[in-house]
Structure 1
Amino acid sequence: MGRAEDRRARQRGGRRAAPMRSSGTPSAGVGGDVTEIGGGRAAARRASQGRGKKSKKSGIRRLFTWKKLLGTFFGLCLLGIGAFIALYMMIDIPKGNADATLQSNVYKYSNGDLLTRDGEKNREIVPLAEVPKDVQRTFVAAENKTFYKDAGVDLKGTARGLFNTLSGKGAEGGSTITQQYVKNYYLTQDQTVTRKLKELVISLKLDRTKSKDYILAGYINTSYYGQGAYGIQAAAQAYYRVDAEKLTVAQGAYLAALLQAPSQYDWAIATDDGKKLAKARWNYVLDNMVEEGWLDKTKREAMEFPVPKEPKAAPGMGGQTGYLVDAANNQLAKQLVADGATDNLNDALTMVKAGGWTITLNIDKKKQAALEKAAKSQLTSKLDAKKRSVDGDVQAGAVSVNPKTGAVVAMYGGKDYYKHYRNNATRTDYQPASTFKPVILAAALDEAAETQSGKQITANTIYDGTSKRPVVDDGTKVGFAPENEDDQNYGNITVQTAMNKSVNSVFAQLGVDVGMDKVLKVANQLGMDTADLSAVPAQTLGTMGASPLQMAGVYATLDNHGKQVTPTIIKSVESSRRTVKLPDPIGDQVISREAADTVTSVLTGVVDDGTAKVSVRDNANRDGRKVAGKTGTSDENRSAWFTGYTPDLVTSVGLFGESAKNGAQVSMYEAGGVPRVNGGGFPAQIWAAYTFGVAGKNTKFDLDTDQGAAVQPTVTPTFTQEPSETPSETPTTEEPSETPTSEKPTDEETTPSSTPTTEAPTDGATTPTSTPTAPTPENPLDPNEDQ
């Protein structure tokens, strides 16, 4: 019976029942465990469930065995290999593509008249033997150290690029010199799976049938180096005024570095960051040469960066033409990136400059001529570098925009594209200064911001205009106390008067009351690039960089009642190879109409009773037109601005102090024979001479507001604090009169040029109830210190 019991117990999933004692209690088993008879049934159920689970697991294992998985993997590999072999057999090395023939681009005015053709491409093929061996190696060191050893492709990089293209992440580097040459000469810059597969096949075939020298020669002779130069010979002439055979290793390393980012690394137009990146890339190339044994370490350490020569413009690009063409090319390249033709701006520029485009600009021929005439009559004719060396350091830029369409109808990039390669209308390396103040007011109105005493901010709100008054947030000084122009005190004044007189201390406090994060948000919505800016009070002084093109867009959005205007220089684009659809320059409502119209109303006071009244208000050609605008002058007189508008035209004019010797930012004191170049001077004079000659007859703004200088005040000014106990030097609390006066305008303030503090203010609280009389020792920006 013992064996039978054991068998039944195993079937039940339990242990053998212990023999019963006479008392009926089961005895302990051999191991000391006690098993109840009733527990055997429960154990059997658990065992049955376990067998079910094992059965399911066994089914999954049978479906996904390692043999099946391995077989599937090898099957897919064989399928891929087969497909690649088929492609390899089908795809031959083609003739050079249409892009490689480098047709001319045609540029037209808005009415269809020819502006220019970009002429014959600046390109000359040179045999590789005429390029010094060490210079050849700079390109290999820069782009593909394994060039002399590989099979012409980087399978890992190509696979990564294919994956990124399929997943929508864009392209990624990793192409060999052979692949880049194939892309440049045989294919296109398009980032598509088909193009990448063709590139891979052709590169493999090319590497098998042609020598490495043939491929390298093709690569350096077809690549684009910037400044309209295609190929190493044109690049050598453009950047160093020598033939390719005379290039030094240091010069060759710079040209090789350029290929990664021709526009960004072009020394003539590079930003400070761009120059740092160009030098870093140059060092990278030379260090790789040392690593590969191609350059002696001692010679490498003795090398200095070879600063390129001042560029020369291509034929047919003199005067303003080159600036207009460059602006159009850059906008088209950005659009190609946006359309997904490529995710690389440099590749996009290569597509554009390869030729075959007919680009019609929004530039109005008559307005363009009028803007050029105004700049000459009001500025350049008054500059004489022989009498005053500083006159040679003055650069001007201007952009004029139709606020209803976003069309850039005129652009002034500088005195002459041949003489100054950088476009002053699109450069973003100078401070907009007080032309940023309307943005702060727009943010206050759109966000329905309140003073720190809890009252809503309007054009009639009164602030303390004492110079160097510490900015306060929630009763705490935030470490910022800006000085007003000439350290002038204004006492208790309205926001309207503070805008008219461009009072730093008022707008610094106003910015903190609104919240600097909200100010920068609105600035971005209006068209400024604020992505890398810190939300600190110093930004209220306009210490960021901006271009006349950007500021024209900001003010055009205000003129367009708060609907975003993105200035566009291109009207239409035609090409036999691709279709480009331009986005609508008029966007969404980014701030309320009431906020935008109130700012416009306030800005009429700057013209009628503020820093622009002599140049603009009293101009004999005004003809009754309503005008809104704002002046600005940065610290050390390095930039001066006037951005203004009528109901149908917005124009931003900027003057920039740029050393004629080295391109550094310099002061413009005494330029043109005046003590200081202010926004209300030359910039406003250029603006008025141009605008009053071409603006339409729409003389009045259609404003939806009951605030500001353009309307009669309907409320009594609201005090945000007790009046100062000590009278200021120039106290005023009244609203500016609409009736012109003979009062001499107050010069606008200068803006500190130092880097803004990184101390972030806390969210708004109350404006101080007393007027401090001394500056805070924590002030991070001393307006009198050149930092």
Structure 2
Amino acid sequence: MRPTGDHDADGSTTPTPGRRRRRNRLLIFLAVFALLAGSGLVAGGYYFDSVPTPTDLKLPESTTVYYADGRTPMAKLGAENRTIVPYDQMNDSAKQAIVAAEDRTFWTNKGVDFKGVLRAAWANVTGGQRQGASTLTQQYARVAADLRGVTYSRKLREAVVAWKLDDTYSKEEILGFYLNTVPFGRGAYGIEAAAQTFFGKTVRRDAPPQQQLTQAEAMVLCAMVKQPEADPADPEGSPGYDPRRNALAKQNSIDRWNYIRDGMVKLGYLTSEQAANLAYPDSVRPIDPTAGRSGLDRPTGLVVHHVLGELRQTEPFRGKPDEVIRDGGYKIVTTIDKRVQDAAEAAADIRRDTAPEAVRGQPKNWQAALVAVEPGTGRVLGYYGGSSGSGADYAGWYRDENGQARGFGQHPPGSSFKVYDLAAAVEDGISVKQRFDSPDTKEFPESGRTKGSAAGPIRNAEHAPCQPNCALWEATVASLNVTYFELTEKLGTAKVIDMAKRAGVESMWETVKGNPQPQRVDLRTEPADEVARRFSTEVGIGQYGISVQDHANGMATFAAGGKRAEAHFVRSVTKGDEKVWGEQLKQTDLGLDQEAINQLDWTLRRVRAAKLDNDWDSAGKTGTWQAGQSTTQNVHTWMVGWTGALASAVWLGTTDGKPLRTTGGSYEVYGSTGPGPIWRQFMADATAALKLDPDKYRFAEPAFPDDAPETTTPTPPPATSSPTPSARPTPSTTPSRPSPSPSRRPTTLPTISPSLSPLPSLTPSKTRKPR
């Protein structure tokens, strides 16, 4: 909004255009001459030849990462907190206030305060102090020079740049450049970031009126431009104009706000009556020490790492440095549903009072991880790999900007891996009611598990009612390893691994002789026959590490009736109105017919730890992996499963590789008693938060075309203090400690970023056993 009339805004008579032009040229000539005399003709020529214009500048603009709703921010990335809003999309509040605060002749001057330039020239010649009194255009020129990395040392540069800017761009453009560039304090650069930081509002004129920055609020912000931050040498005596800093700063703010208000009356932006009715706003948000942080210090900080790792593989960002994403001003919408994420953190962060009672107050080396995936889409709806994005990721791994693998998300799955064995069996036409010889111990000469071998025969830890001859479904509920080792031999390790791969397990960690750390095998790229040679029959009982994220995606595939989708974290990337990238949802069919899916659901819903108390049909499987030769001490415990609407995997272990031991000294920690309560609480809370109808996701009953399944004792409610019966075979190989590093990684443990301490290592165990 420009003032009109025959006089300048400060009341002086406007010279004719010709007289004004001649006067300006004379003043600039005198200023240039004086400054060149003091700084040298060479330097003066450099200033003229290196004038930066706004088109030369690439302002770093914050990229914001959002939850799936596209409205709730998760994290802000970038070197500076800045969100650029085009001038014509800003409301008038800040445009008017900044002119009244900093340059009341802005609309009529030539971009240069000629008197100020002469004062600076004289000070330069005489050795006096540097002078101020710059126009908005000069202030922008100074900022532009700093952004270009050019040290501003003379008033001449500012004046020449400002003069050229004024000749090249309209006043509106220059004011837009200025408002999107200058600092306002609290780390906010540009008026939009300031409006959000100080008032939780926006300057966009297309926003609802109640969300737009008001005139009075804009005046508070524009007062801060004079001194955005406190003087570090005297923060109490020279605190600036942030009214929340201290009493002196608030009085400074009020005084300058009144000065701006008077200027707005003189400029015609306010009438005297409007000014008299305008109240100083006391709604400035308190100073939040964490407000300037990016959000990477929260559990969702790990999600951001996965988001960046995923985007680095997309066409718009492949091969480009991370600054392109972080400082590009993008809006990244993730797949993370805040309702699901809140439920995940409440259940899996065992340091919180919201975690299940069974896992609260336990030793500090206890650690849980949880990943939830939407069946049919592969969208990761919830992810908890640790309490901070600057810490270890126990749920998965990703590649950083340099291609290095980061994270710590692989753990032996134990009996929870049997879901893939069972799926491979029903795909192969093996009915879940087919009976298997299931003694307490059994030799398997083909796999080297005999009495004379170092590992010995496979044995079951406890006796199930159906033994010594059990239907496959009974052996599944009882987690009999003798049965599942035989099943794996019958199917072949290649078929079991292939089922896991097709369902969603993309990586497994093999034990390499002579290497202290298991190495990652990419199941997607390695030939199937080569993969099968890397893993022994023990794969069927969960000896080899997988990630929580992959396991959750595998469960989502079964929840979707055998339709596999790629697990992913990004829904869309936009910049302004431009769509930069969007998710491409696609499914692959496992090839399981409906009867196979029904038998899978029917069997796994009988696992007592998978029973939910909220009327949802649910299926799942527990698992443990033990320490050394122990039959009672577990290092890794699992609970995985699904409903028709949500699938998730939970791991509970230790950060140092020591066995799980309760504060009471008990080693009795199992899949049903540790991760089981976490899984059940999360699944109940998440499905409730999503407000879905369980009747739409009922499991179908299998046909069992041959005979009806044997009747058994009714399934009891979920266990909370006793383990699910299972076996503890001794593997034929001696796995070394789990490694967070994929293959072809450095031998040292990775860190999330170079500035962080190494991730915790795991204590090697001579032999581990599944449960």
Normalising by structure 2, report the TM-score. Answer: 0.49
Q: Tell me which structure has the larger Cα radius of gyration.
A: 1
**Which structure carries more helix by proportion?**
1
